[in-house]
Amino acid sequence: MEPMIHLENVSVRYKIPNVRVSSIKEYVVKLLQRKMFYHEFHALNNVSLEVYAGEVFGLIGQNGAGKSTLLKVIARVLRPTKGRVILHGKIFPLLELGAGFDPELTGRENIYLNSAILGFSKKDIKSRFDRIVEFAGLQEFIDTPVRNYSTGMSSRLGFSVATDVQPEILIVDEALSVGDTDFQKRCTDRIHTFRKNGTTILLVSHDLSAVQTMCDRVAWLHHGELKAMGKPDDVIAQYTQASASVA
Amino acid sequence: MQKSKIYYDSNKRGLPLVEEFKELLRYRELLFILIINNIKSRYKRSTFGVLWTMLNPLLYMAVMVVAFSHLFRFQIVNYPVYLLSGLIAWNFFSQTTTQAMGTLVWGGSLLKRIYIPRTIFAVAAIGSGIINLALSCIPLILIMLITHQPIYATWFFTPISILILGGVSLGVALIVSMIAIFFTDIVELYQVLLQAAFYLTPIMYPETALPENVQRFLVLNPMYDVVKVFRGPIYDGHLPSQYSLCAAVIATLVVLLFGWWFFTRTADQISYRI
């Protein structure tokens, strides 16, 4: 099998200031008082892994273990401090709760905005517009500004736009808790269809049973390091054992 | 092993400027949408709509004309046109840089979740600025007709001066918008700096109004030559002198390249600061 995602000794180091400074005034004052310190934080340490085409790959680990950092490196948002990331396909992150929406614009305008953010052309969207609206179930509200939408409505719209076309690589970051149970079921159905048709899926979740049933392979991250990788049953067993012994 | 097409390689970085330009071209649909949104959001909340772009400089000009032609008595032929032609260039600069700050703060939350070319917000601000500039040329021409100012053939030079103006504005937009992501109070501080820079640039007064030893320092103000290059062909029908054209182009390149360097150097840190 050929790899879709290839990580080679990837490390990410953050420089974290001791205090969170959000204004120039504060920054200058703290600098003059010599109260600005930075310490280095290894969010990821020497992680190497490969995700193969058509695979559902799960990431587990406690909060702060480096799961989101790993996703960011793969989503091209963060450049690794060391190491190398190679992607062999176009990546689609599921934006959480309508992150790409402009609340002042209508649902219709936001579909075009969000699609352009995902790199689709306008012509593409025109032909798929009705399907997107129908899947989100927002036919009546499509010309209402998104600021009047409920959280459920805007995340439904976000999901519909992002998954209307089968992506090559899909990143799902605990975004499945979207909308009512009916919509959730349609979401999981859609992801299952993608999986059947060969989309590579990267799933991050705290829901271990979901990871166990959906994933082909699982990686366990702990303090930025790859603790274990392999069959879901084995890795999850190791992970729960380790968590239990700590607690 | 069979190697399929590589979409992204974190080690590969072409010449960053060329690379980013290619990415902007690839995301041109998003660029157009952002430009249109910039314009729409500006007019949505005002009753006069697009008309306001044209009325605003006119009203400002009216105030200035009353204040200055009676209080200070500058020796300027057709002061309204002198003022308005400089004011349009300045407004372009101040509006685009301010807008770039606002949109990058919105877009910043996006930049840490999904890849899009990072300079796109600043470039979109320049794009919508050019449309606004074209609109504000309408009242300028109107005033020129009313005051019997000839419309010179040197107007044809204006696209080149807009290019220079756009370059210098993009450079500053990249710098201030990146700072705004880290320090929110730059937005207020920048307005004060803009105000100061406005009075330090000969826009509403002639440069000869400054004492001679101060005039020498005007060269240090990048906007001085840029405004001059924009105003000249419109106001007195002369193409800019080789000297001021060179000075404007050099100032623009310095500001743009510095802004670009600063922006790309800091951009990788966005996703762990917001």
pLDDT per position as a tens digit, A177-214 = 656 777 778 888 888 888 888 899 998 888 888 888 88
- Of the pLDDT bands very low, low, confident and very high (cuts 50, 70, 90), residue B2 is very low
Q: How far is CA A191 from CA A132, A159, A175, A208, B251, in A?
A: 15, 11, 12, 17, 53
The letter for the amino acid at A184 is Q
C-alpha angle B172-B178-B183 in degrees, rounded to nearest 5 = 115
Q: With pLDDT > 70 as the criterion, what percentage of chain B qualifies?
A: 92
* CA–CA gap between residue B26 and residue A90 (Å, rounded): 14
- Tally A–B CB contacts below 8 A: 101
Question: What is the Cα–Cα distance from B223 to A8, expressed in whole angstroms?
Answer: 48
Interface test with A, best of B1, B4, B7 (most A CBs within 10 A): B7
Mean pLDDT estimate for chain B: 86
Residue B229 has pLDDT above 90, yes or no: yes
Residue B246 is predicted with a pLDDT of 93
Mutation for testing the A interface, residue in B3, B5, B6, B10 having most A CBs under 10 Å: B10
Q: Could you give the CA distance from residue B173 to residue A139 in angstroms, rounded to a whole number?
A: 39
DSSP code, position B237: S
pTM: 0.87
pLDDT in tens, A45-104: 999 999 998 899 999 988 888 888 898 889 888 888 889 999 988 887 776 656 778 888
Q: pLDDT value at position A176?
A: 55
Q: How much of chain B, in percent, has pLDDT values that exceed 90?
A: 43
Sheet of A217-222, strand order: A91-93, A169-173, A200-204, A56-60, A217-222, A225-230
Distances A111 to A147, A155, A183, B103, B125 between C-alpha atoms, Å = 14, 12, 19, 19, 21
Rounded Cα gap, residues A29 and A206, in angstroms: 41
CB contact under 8 A, A22 and B184: yes
pLDDT (tens digit, 9 = 90+) per residue, A210-244? 888 889 999 999 998 999 999 999 999 999 988 88
Q: Kindly report, residue by residue over B5-51, the tens digit of the pLDDT.
A: 777 887 776 667 788 888 899 899 999 999 998 888 777 766 667 77
Least confident of A187-201, B60-74, B135-149, B201-215: B60-74
User: Cα angle vertex B101, ends B96, B102, to 5°?
Assistant: 100
